[in-house]
């Protein structure tokens, strides 16, 4: 047996690696060797723990200690104090933001308490570069079961019963998708994994690929068996180098073990997987655009039908599933449809992974059962709003989702509820905004993104979004009129109704949902020409407070256009007409007398 009596799990996700977790791993190994403990204590680089806010993370097992923000220079202390003397290092423990107390283990952390990890079951638990550790966690058992004990029909029926829906955004039932691809007869079929994760600030799929690549490979082989395909591709963006490297390692290991290739597990089933790199275009997450890009054409969507299940890659029936959907498949097949469908809400089964970002204390990756409320996610798991500020809105579904407000906080999260409230599930981005965020600027920001990423094929999306963006720009500059608000809404609805693909059909969502929920902010921009959050520069004026100004003349000397007047030791005044709002006066003032209002 292995003589290891202690494991040090170091996060090897992209985020933690950027904060030197790989140097830390080397240092830990070196320190252990120095103490003659390399045979007793194993250092393992795992996938993402999800707690990116406080990375790099080191988890000590089996005593379940969770260290945050560990630097390479802490390695010596961890080995000497924790490993040898058995004493926890308090300064590295996670501190609860509310009680300010140190939390010893993950079971007591609000961040982990409400989570249920199915898709992320192996992330932060196994070494993603070891196929043996994956197998030890029942890896490839589902494939074995499907190949030896189940027919493709029975497998598909089980998936349909489980209620698993596509995690890429649209929520199409996975089992049904497989069935459609199976029923289209063809000698050649393909299985494609959509790893083109495009939402800004979203990293669910990347973390799964980095932390548990074999689960994706196993599921693709299972689908291959179900639909009758012997070839699969993972379409992944080239800007995910670590995920690509881990996938390559995993592919090689699976081939070496004969779990990919010819005659898998002696059953006569052949299947292999290749990688295709994308250039990072948002629209290529749409399945028809993705397939065109795979074929070497421009990444532009085409009208459906025909669906890829009928005519996909190289004109052959193709099944496309997203990474997170695939990661859910093996546990469902092993534990059964009933187990999975007991989790979640009536129409949305299982769990969903979200990337929490924005003005929130615990930025990171979480997985919760469907039906968890936004309040639980933001205030319990997310630890609430940064710096004790007030919650204003949460954007779900990435750039094409909508903004939900205070009144939606107790809505259980599932596909239907989010759509009913003017947003969507999307791939699972969740961006939290506080009182200092201007909702008009936020809508404009998301539109910046969609205008940039529109492929330009259809007019509503190409021209319509551009016009929407111009209208918002005018409003933010203080040149908007009341009629613009109607124009925004009308144009938004037209784009939604007439665009060719999901990108255009959802791109006006941020505008429409902020119009619904934050009309007062639009009104004050248009009518009063004021930005209450203090974000839109053109709507703000620099002003000098009488009480604070000592008449030092620093601001007047700093002003490049001579807009500030005033005598020495007397109150200075900004002339709003000549002021160009460069902010130089505010920077120079030592008495906090210059404000924006």
Partner 1 sequence: MEKIRSLADLKKIRDENNKGVELRKKGEDADKLVQVKVAMATCGIASGAKETMEFLADSLEKRGVEAVVTQTGCMGYCYAEPTIEVTLPGRDPIVFGNVNVKKADEIIEKYIKGGELVDGIIPVNYETIDSKE
Estimate the crossing angle of helix 519-526 against helix 465-476, to 10 degrees. 60
**Would you list the DSSP string of 54-117?**
GPSPEEEETTTEEE-S--GGGHHHIIIIIIIT----GGGBEE-TTT--EE-BGGG-HHHHT---
172 lies in the site for partner 1, by CB under 8 A: no
Q: Which of 356, 46, 35, 440 is nearest to 210 (CA)?
A: 46
Q: Which is nearer to partner 1, 87 or 479 (CB)?
A: 87
> Which residues have C-beta within 8 Å of that of residue 14, sequence separation ≥ 6?
203, 206, 210, 240, 242, 243
Which of the stretches 188-196, 249-257, 391-399, 406-414 binds partner 1 when contact is defined by CB under 8 A? Answer: 249-257
- Quote the DSSP letter at residue 369: E
User: Looking at the chain, how many residues does it have?
Assistant: 597
Q: Which is nearer to partner 1, 120 or 289 (CB)?
A: 120
State the chain's maximal CA–CA distance in angstroms.
92
Q: Which is nearer to partner 1, 136 or 561 (CB)?
A: 136
Q: How far is the CB of 131 from partner 1 (least distance, A)?
A: 9
User: Quick one: which of 18, 136, 279, 459 contacts partner 1 (CB under 8 A)?
Assistant: 136
Residue 57 in tokens: 């993370």
Residues 264-303 within binding reach of partner 1 (CB under 8 A): 265-266
Q: How far is the CB of 335 from partner 1 (least distance, A)?
A: 16
535 lies in the site for partner 1, by CB under 8 A: no
93 lies in the site for partner 1, by CB under 8 A: no
555 lies in the site for partner 1, by CB under 8 A: no
Cβ contact 282:233 at 8 Å: no
Q: How far is the CB of 105 from partner 1 (least distance, A)?
A: 9
107 lies in the site for partner 1, by CB under 8 A: yes
Map residues 406-435 to x or -, x wherever contact with partner 1 holds by CB under 8 A: ------------------------------
45 lies in the site for partner 1, by CB under 8 A: no
Cβ contact 219:329 at 8 Å: yes
235 lies in the site for partner 1, by CB under 8 A: no
Q: Which is nearer to partner 1, 11 or 413 (CB)?
A: 11
> Which residues have C-beta within 8 Å of that of residue 309, sequence separation ≥ 6?
177, 180, 181, 184, 317, 318, 319
Q: How far is the CB of 182 from partner 1 (least distance, A)?
A: 23
> Which residues have C-beta within 8 Å of that of residue 328, sequence separation ≥ 6?
118, 119, 164, 167, 340, 350, 351
Which of the stretches 60-68, 424-432, 518-526, 533-541 binds partner 1 when contact is defined by CB under 8 A? Answer: 60-68
User: Quick one: which of 147, 217, 360, 485 contacts partner 1 (CB under 8 A)?
Assistant: 147
Residue 337 in tokens: 């449809």
Residues that bind partner 1 (CB under 8 A): 1-7, 9, 40, 42, 61-64, 83-87, 106-107, 125-126, 132-133, 135-141, 144-145, 147-148, 253, 256-259, 265-266
């Amino acid at each position: 047996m292995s003589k290891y009596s202690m494991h040090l799990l170091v996060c090897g996700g992209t985020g933690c690696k950027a904060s030197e977790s790989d140097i830390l791993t080397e240092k830990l190994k070196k320190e252990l060797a120095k103490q003659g403990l390399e045979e007793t204590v194993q250092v393992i680089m795992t996938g993402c723990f999800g707690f990116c806010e406080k990375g790099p993370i080191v988890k000590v097992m089996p005593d379940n200690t969770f260290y945050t923000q560990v630097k390479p220079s802490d390695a010596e202390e961890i080995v000497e104090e924790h490993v040898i003397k058995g004493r926890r290092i308090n300064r590295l423990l996670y501190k609860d933001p509310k009680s300010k107390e140190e939390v010893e283990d993950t079971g007591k952390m609000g961040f982990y308490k409400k989570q249920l990890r199915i898709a992320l079951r192996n992330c932060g638990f196994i070494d993603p570069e070891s196929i043996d550790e994956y197998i030890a966690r029942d890896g490839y058992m589902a494939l074995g079961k499907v190949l030896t004990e189940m027919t493709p029909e029975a497998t598909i029926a089980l998936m349909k019963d489980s209620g698993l829906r596509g995690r890429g955004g649209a929520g199409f039932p996975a089992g049904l998708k497989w069935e459609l691809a199976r029923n289209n007869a063809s000698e050649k079929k393909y299985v494609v994994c959509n790893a083109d994760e495009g939402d800004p600030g979203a990293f669910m799929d990347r973390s799964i690929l980095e932390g548990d690549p074999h689960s994706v490979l196993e599921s693709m082989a299972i689908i291959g068996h179900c639909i009758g395909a012997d070839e699969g591709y993972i379409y992944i963006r080239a800007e995910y180098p670590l995920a690509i490297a881990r996938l390559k390692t995993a592919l090689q290991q699976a081939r070496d073990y004969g779990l990919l290739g010819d005659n898998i597990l002696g059953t006569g089933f052949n299947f292999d997987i290749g990688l295709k790199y994308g250039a990072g275009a948002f629209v290529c997450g749409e399945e028809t655009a993705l397939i065109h890009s795979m074929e070497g054409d421009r990444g532009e969507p085409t009208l459906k039908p025909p669906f890829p299940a009928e005519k996909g890659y190289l004109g052959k029936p193709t099944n496309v599933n997203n990474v997170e959907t695939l990661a859910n498949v093996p546990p469902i097949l092993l534990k059964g449809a009933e187990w999975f469908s007991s989790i979640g809400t009536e129409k949305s089964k299982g769990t969903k992974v979200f990337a929490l970002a924005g003005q929130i204390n615990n930025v990171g990756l979480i997985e919760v059962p469907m039906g968890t409320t936004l309040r639980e996610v933001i205030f319990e798991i997310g630890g609430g709003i940064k710096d004790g500020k007030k919650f204003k809105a949460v954007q779900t579904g990435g750039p094409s989702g909508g903004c939900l407000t205070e009144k939606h906080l107790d809505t259980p999260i599932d596909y239907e509820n989010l759509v009913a409230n003017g947003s969507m599930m999307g791939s699972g981005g969740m961006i939290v905004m506080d009182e200092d965020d201007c909702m008009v600027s936020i809508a404009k920001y998301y539109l910046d993104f969609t205008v940039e990423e529109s492929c330009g094929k259809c007019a509503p999306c190409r021209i319509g979004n551009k016009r929407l963006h111009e209208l918002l720009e005018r409003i933010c500059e203080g040149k908007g009129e009341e009629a613009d608000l109607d124009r925004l809404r009308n144009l938004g609805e037209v784009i939604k109704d007439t665009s060719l693909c999901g990108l255009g059909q959802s791109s006006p969502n941020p505008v429409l949902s902020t119009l619904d929920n934050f009309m007062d902010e639009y009104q004050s921009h248009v009518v009063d020409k004021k930005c209450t959050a203090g974000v839109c520069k053109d709507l703000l004026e620099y002003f000098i407070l009488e009480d604070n100004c000592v008449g030092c003349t620093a601001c007047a000397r700093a002003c490049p256009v001579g807009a500030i007047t005033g005598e020495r030791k007397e109150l200075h005044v900004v002339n709003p007409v000549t002021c160009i709002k460069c902010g130089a006066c505010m920077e120079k003032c030592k008495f906090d007398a210059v404000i924006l209002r």
